[in-house]
C-alpha cells in the first residue's frame, strides 16, 4: 500500500471538504424528498418533457465523457501503443466512476431502485433500444469494474486474484470496446423515435453514428483534461514514469482527437446535406447549430492540429476543455434545447433548482470517490511489488 | 421538400449530388489536413 515518497498529507478540515460536506447534506435531504415525494417533488418534468438534466447531463454527457476508458484501453491493449500506458489506469478509473454515477443518476430519474434488475430478469423488452442501452451499460460497468480491480487488488496485496484478472485484460478490453460501440451509438438511436420532436438540424438517421464518433472525441479530450487537473492536484501521487509520459500523452491524444473531430465535422455536414436542411441554417436554431459545429467541432479540430504541430501543450489542453464543453452542449441540445422545439416557450422544460442540486450532488459523490481512490491506490504510480508486471 | 424540388427523384438527385461532391471534397481536404497535422516541429529527441 505504498505511495510515492513525496506524498503530501492533506488536511481533513479544508474549504474544499467543507463545501463537499454541505453539498452532501443538501444531496441527502433532496434524495429523501425525491424518493418519498416522487419526481414532482423535486423536478419540473412533465408529460411533454419526461427527460430532464438527469438524463441529458448526467446520463448522456456522463456516458460520452466516460469514453476515455475504452478509447485509452483500445489504444494501449489492442493497438499496442504502450507509450500511453500511464494514461490507462486514470482513464479506466474515470470511466468506471463515470458509469457508476450514470447509474446513480438513472436511479434518481427512474425511481424504485430495487426494480433496476427487472428489465433483465423479469420483463425483457428485447425489441427496445433502451433495453440494449441498459444491458450494455450493465455489462460494460461490470467490465470496467474488472478492469479497475487490479488497482484495488494491488492495494490490498491480493496477488493471486490480481494475476487471474490481469490475464483477462485483452478479453476485457475487446468486450469493453464492443459494448461501448453498441451503447454509445444506441444512446443516439433513442432519438430516432422522435423525428417530429427533435429539430431537423439535430435529427438525422445517422444520429447513432454521430453519438459514437463524438464519444471518441469526448473520451480523448477527457483524458487530456482529466490528466491536466490530476497533474495540478495530485502531482505528489505520481511517479517519475507517469510525469515523463504526460507530454507524449497530451500530444498523441490531441492528434487523435483532431482527426476524430475532422471526421465528426464532416459527417455532421453530411447529415445536413442528406436531409437538404441548408435553408434552416439561416434561422435562429441554424445559427446555434453553426455555433456548435464551427465553435465546438471545427475550430477545436484545427486548434488541436496547430497544438500538435507546434508542440503547444497549453493550447491542446485548453482545446480539450473546449471539446468537452462542446460535447456537453451537443447532448443538451439534443435532449433539451432542440427537443420539443415547436412547443411555446412557456411549455418548455426548465430544470428545477433541486434537479440541478441533485446533479451537483451526484458529480460531487463521483469526485469524492475519485479522490479517495487516487490518494490511496496505485493509479498514478506503479506499485513497487508489481512494477515488472504492467 | 425545397425550392425547385417536386418529386422524390429530384430530392434524391439534389441531396445525393451534393453529398458526393462533399465526400470528394472531404477526401481531398483530408489529404491536406493529414499533411498539416503531421508537419510542423519535429520531436526533439
Q: Do A309 and B14 touch (CB under 8 A)?
A: no
Measured in angstroms, the CA of B19 and the nearest CA of chain A are apart by: 6
CA distance B21 to chain A (A): 10
Nearest beta carbon to residue B41 from set A259, A266, A309: A309
Half-sphere exposure of A125 (CA within 13 A, CB side): 10
Look up the ipTM and state it: 0.84
pTM assigned to the model: 0.91
- pLDDT of A21 reads 95
Q: What DSSP string describes A29-94?
A: HHHHHHHHH-HHHH----SS----HIIIIIIIIHHHHTTHHHHHHIIIIIS--GGGGGGHHHHHHH
Question: Closest to A262 (Cβ–Cβ): which among B2, B19, B33?
Answer: B33
Closest C-alpha among A104, A106, A111 to residue A33: A111
pLDDT, average across residues B7-11:
90
Mean pLDDT per 10-residue interval, chain A, length 390 residues: 58 85 96 94 90 92 92 93 92 94 93 87 86 90 94 90 91 94 92 92 94 96 94 86 89 96 95 92 95 96 95 95 96 92 89 95 95 91 71
Residue-level pLDDT at A268: 95
The C-alpha cell at A351 is 430544470
Which residues on chain B are in Cβ contact (under 8 Å) with A262? 30, 33
Residue A345: the pLDDT is 86
Q: Which residues of B touch A (CB under 8 A)?
A: 1-3, 5, 11, 14-15, 18-19, 22-23, 26, 30, 33, 36-37, 39-41, 43
Residue A239: per-residue pLDDT: 85
pLDDT at A1: 47
Contacts of A274 in chain B (CB under 8 A): 15, 19
| Backbone dihedral angles phi then psi of residue A339, each to the nearest 5 degrees | -95, 140
Per the CB < 8 A criterion, the answer to whether A313 and A247 are in contact is yes
The pLDDT assigned to B45 comes to 45
Which residues of chain A have a CB within 8 Å of the CB of B43? 311
Which of A274, A279, A305 minimises the CB distance to B15? A274
pLDDT score, position A173? 94
Bridge partners of residue A339, in order along the sequence: A198
Say how far apart CA A150 and CA A158 lie, in whole Å: 9
The CA distance from A116 to A135, in Å, is 11
User: Taking CB atoms and an 8 Å cutoff, what residues of chain B touch A258?
Assistant: 37
The nearest CA of chain A is from the CA of B41 a distance in Å of 6
User: In chain B, which residues have their Cβ closer than 8 Å to the Cβ of A252?
Assistant: none
Contact between A305 and B37 under an 8 Å Cβ cutoff? The reply is yes
Residues of B in contact with A269 (CB under 8 A): 22
Mutate to test the interface with A, among B23, B31, B40, B44 (most CBs of A within 10 A): B40
Is pLDDT above 60 for B13?
A: yes
Are A8 and A234 contacting, i.e. CB atoms less than 8 angstroms apart? no
- Whether A261 and A293 have beta carbons less than 8 Å apart is answered as no
Cα separation, A220 vs A53, whole angstroms: 24
pLDDT at A127: 87
What is the model's pLDDT at position B40? 67
CB pairs under 8 A between A and B: 41
Amino acid at each position: 500500500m505504498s505511495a510515492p515518497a513525496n506524498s503530501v498529507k492533506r488536511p481533513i478540515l479544508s474549504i474544499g471538504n467543507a463545501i463537499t460536506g454541505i453539498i452532501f447534506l443538501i444531496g441527502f435531504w433532496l434524495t429523501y424528498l425525491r424518493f418519498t415525494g416522487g419526481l414532482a417533488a423535486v423536478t419540473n418534468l412533465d408529460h411533454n418533457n419526461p427527460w430532464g438534466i438527469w438524463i441529458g447531463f448526467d446520463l448522456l454527457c456522463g456516458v460520452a465523457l466516460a469514453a476515455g476508458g475504452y478509447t485509452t484501453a483500445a489504444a494501449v491493449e489492442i493497438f499496442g501503443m504502450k507509450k500511453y500506458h500511464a494514461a490507462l489506469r486514470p482513464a479506466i478509473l474515470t470511466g468506471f466512476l463515470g458509469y457508476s454515477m450514470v447509474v446513480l443518476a438513472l436511479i434518481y430519474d427512474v425511481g424504485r431502485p430495487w426494480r433496476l434488475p427487472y428489465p433483465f430478469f423479469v420483463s425483457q423488452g428485447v425489441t427496445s433500444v433502451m433495453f440494449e442501452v441498459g444491458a450494455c451499460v450493465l455489462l460494460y460497468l461490470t467490465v470496467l469494474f474488472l478492469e479497475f480491480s487490479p488497482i484495488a487488488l494491488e492495494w490490498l496485496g491480493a496477488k493471486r486474484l490480481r494475476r487471474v484478472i490481469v490475464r483477462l485484460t485483452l478479453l476485457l478490453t475487446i468486450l469493453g470496446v464492443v459494448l461501448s460501440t453498441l451503447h454509445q451509438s444506441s444512446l443516439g438511436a433513442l432519438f430516432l423515435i422522435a423525428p417530429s420532436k427533435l429539430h431537423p438540424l439535430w435529427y438525422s438517421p445517422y444520429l447513432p453514428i454521430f453519438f459514437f464518433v463524438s464519444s471518441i472525441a469526448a473520451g480523448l479530450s477527457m483524458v487530456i483534461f482529466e490528466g491536466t487537473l490530476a497533474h495540478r492536484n495530485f502531482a505528489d501521487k505520481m511517479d517519475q514514469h507517469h510525469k515523463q509520459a504526460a507530454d507524449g500523452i497530451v500530444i498523441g491524444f490531441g492528434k487523435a482527437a483532431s482527426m476524430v473531430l475532422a471526421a465528426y465535422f464532416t459527417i455532421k455536414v453530411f447529415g445536413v446535406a442528406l436531409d437538404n436542411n441548408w435553408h434552416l441554417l439561416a434561422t435562429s436554431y441554424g445559427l446555434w447549430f453553426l455555433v456548435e459545429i464551427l465553435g465546438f467541432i471545427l475550430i477545436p479540430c484545427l486548434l488541436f492540429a496547430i497544438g500538435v504541430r507546434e508542440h503547444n501543450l497549453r493550447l491542446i489542453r485548453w482545446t480539450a476543455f473546449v471539446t468537452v464543453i462542446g460535447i456537453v452542449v451537443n447532448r443538451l441540445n439534443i435532449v433539451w434545447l432542440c427537443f420539443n422545439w415547436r412547443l411555446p416557450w412557456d411549455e418548455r422544460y426548465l430544470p428545477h433548482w433541486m434537479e440541478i442540486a441533485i446533479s451537483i450532488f451526484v458529480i460531487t459523490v463521483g469526485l469524492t470517490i475519485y479522490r479517495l481512490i487516487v490518494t490511496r491506490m496505485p493509479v498514478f504510480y506503479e506499485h513497487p511489488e508489481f512494477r515488472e508486471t504492467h | 421538400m425545397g425550392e425547385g424540388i417536386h418529386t422524390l427523384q429530384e430530392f434524391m438527385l439534389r441531396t445525393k449530388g451534393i453529398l458526393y461532391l462533399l465526400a470528394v471534397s472531404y477526401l481531398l481536404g483530408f489529404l491536406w489536413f493529414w499533411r498539416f497535422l503531421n508537419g510542423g516541429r519535429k520531436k526533439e529527441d
